[in-house]
């Protein structure tokens, strides 16, 4: 029976902190991190450390002989332990995952991963990436007892490669949930408050959103932009200065995002590609609707909740049509808010953590019924 869970991580695990916190209340949880920092671009976006006081953190940056340390660590965690790795490509912690953990057949290993990134690649690059992940699937699939893939897009991607289809489960990034008191459902029809939170680059689609808003049919709207970093940062700042309807608010602390989002009418996530897209979940948790794209992993939540719309990525007309629709009939936004609030329990730490716990139990033959994803 599993009593211990180890997460092998490159950085501090804010993206899965909700799962880790839930599991730490039921198991002995250790996070073995290559170093203590949060990814630099995330830190600039206001990401912070969560309260994970029941979790044992080990940072390899403070270990002098890393190979000997990992060899001994793996030996000590062969029995009653389930290991989660965050992908298996690249260097850092994954070098030790491949070298020691996956070669020890007594260790039980699961993987958490976004779908392979193929955004902005040539056809040849995409084929090489597909081949690389397929070969990894052939080589390592027998050692990975379960693959928690980001959203149905992630499940579909790995299922198209040589991974064990029966052991792929939908999963989602989620930070530790905050208790947000929902404000009124009312919408000021004379001033629809829209929100964009994210980096300022083409992949995130901020340029497409700004182009659409240049051509909307009426002016009863306000767009607040929150974020930092990216090669379009100068463009975003210039637009916010020239257009009275657009405000740049800088960066929000991650601990404040949910409560601040709740005061808006809708959140727009126009990504051309997103492995997951955390802000979609944060907006739904905060009780507002979301407009996003079909190449954003977290589109599943918009579809599952029906609290918003999913449009084709990079499609100017599709995004323009849905924005004009909510501006002409803002009552749609009230309906989306109601549905987001009804959906919140399905994406809570307890719901997601219980699901992951059942996945572990199923692959370990501790429970008989294969768990179904609660938020789909």
Q: Summarize pLDDT for 45-55 with one digit per residue, the tens.
A: 555 566 788 99
DSSP state at residue 287: T
pTM of model > 0.85: yes
My answer on whether 72 and 137 are in the same domain is yes
Token pair in block for residue 347: 């994406």
My answer on whether 203 and 170 are in the same domain is no
Tokens 């370990």 locate to 364
In whole angstroms, give the CA distance from residue 364 to residue 2.
8
Has residue 316 been placed in a domain?
yes
Has residue 70 been placed in a domain?
yes
Per residue in 76-135, pLDDT (tens digit) is: 999 999 999 999 988 889 999 999 999 999 999 999 999 988 888 999 999 999 999 999
3-state DSSP call for residue 111? strand
My answer on whether 168 and 210 are in the same domain is no
My answer on whether 233 and 171 are in the same domain is no
Q: pLDDT value at position 42?
A: 52
Share of the chain above pLDDT 70, in %: 96
Average pLDDT of every residue of the chain: 91
My answer on whether 216 and 358 are in the same domain is no
3-state DSSP call for residue 71? helix
My answer on whether 206 and 83 are in the same domain is no
Handedness of CA 139, 144, 145, 146 (dihedral sign): negative
Q: pLDDT value at position 349?
A: 93
My answer on whether 92 and 239 are in the same domain is no
In whole angstroms, give the CA distance from residue 98 to residue 103.
7
My answer on whether 166 and 197 are in the same domain is no
Quick one: pLDDT band at residue 39, thresholds 50, 70, 90?
A: low
DSSP of 223-240: EEEE---STTHHHHHHHH
Q: Tell me the average pLDDT across 267-289.
A: 95
Q: Tell me the average pLDDT across 260-266.
A: 94
My answer on whether 250 and 354 are in the same domain is no
Q: pLDDT value at position 184?
A: 76
Q: What angle (nearest 5°) sits at the alpha carbon of residue 370, between those of residues 366 and 371?
A: 100
Has residue 375 been placed in a domain?
no
Q: What is the domain count for the chain?
A: 2
My answer on whether 353 and 322 are in the same domain is no
My answer on whether 326 and 197 are in the same domain is yes
Q: Which domain holds residue 149?
A: 4-177+348-363
My answer on whether 214 and 113 are in the same domain is no
Chain centroid to CA 173: how far?
A: 4
Per residue in 186-212, pLDDT (tens digit) is: 888 889 999 999 999 999 999 999 999
Per residue in 326-335, pLDDT (tens digit) is: 999 999 999 9
| CATH (domain of 356) | 3.40.50.2000
User: Which secondary-structure segment (H or E) carries 350?
Assistant: helix 349-363
């Amino acid at each position: 029976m599993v009593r211990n869970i180890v997460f092998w991580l490159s950085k501090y695990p804010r993206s899965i902190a909700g799962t880790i916190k839930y599991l730490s209340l039921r198991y002995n949880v250790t996070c073995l991190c290559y170093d203590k920092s949060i990814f630099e671009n995330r830190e600039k976006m206001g990401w912070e450390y969560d309260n994970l006081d029941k979790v044992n953190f080990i940072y390899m940056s403070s270990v002098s002989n890393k190979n000997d340390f990992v060899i001994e660590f793996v030996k000590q965690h062969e029995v009653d332990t389930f290991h989660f790795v965050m992908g298996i490509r690249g260097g850092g912690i994954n070098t030790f995952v491949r070298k020691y953990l996956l070669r020890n057949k007594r260790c039980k290993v699961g993987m958490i991963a976004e779908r392979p990134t193929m955004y902005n690649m040539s056809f040849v690059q995409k084929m090489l990436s597909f081949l690389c992940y397929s070969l990894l699937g052939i080589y390592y699939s027998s050692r990975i007892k379960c693959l928690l893939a980001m959203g149905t897009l992630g499940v579909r991607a790995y299922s198209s490669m040589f991974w064990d289809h029966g052991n792929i489960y939908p999963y989602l990034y989620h930070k530790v949930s905050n208790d947000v008191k929902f404000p009124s459902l009312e919408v000021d029809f004379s001033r629809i408050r829209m929100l964009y939170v994210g980096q300022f680059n083409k992949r995130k689609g901020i340029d497409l959103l700004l182009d659409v808003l240049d051509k909307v049919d009426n002016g009863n709207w306000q767009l607040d932009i929150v974020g930092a970093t990216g090669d379009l940062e100068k463009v975003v700042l210039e637009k916010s200065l020239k257009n009275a309807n657009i405000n740049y608010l800088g960066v929000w602390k991650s601990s404040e995002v949910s409560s601040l989002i709740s005061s808006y009418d809708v959140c727009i996530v126009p990504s051309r590609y997103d492995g997951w897209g955390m802000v979609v979940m944060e907006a739904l948790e905060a009780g507002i609707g979301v407009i996003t794209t079909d190449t954003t992993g977290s589109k599943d939540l918009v579809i599952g909740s029906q609290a918003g719309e999913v449009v084709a990525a990079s499609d100017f007309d599709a995004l323009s049509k849905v924005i004009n629709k909510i501006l002409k009939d803002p009552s749609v936004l009230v309906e989306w808010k109601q549905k987001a609030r009804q959906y919140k329990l399905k994406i809570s730490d307890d719901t997601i953590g219980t699901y992951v716990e059942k996945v572990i139990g199923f692959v370990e033959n501790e429970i008989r019924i294969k768990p179904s994803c609660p938020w789909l």
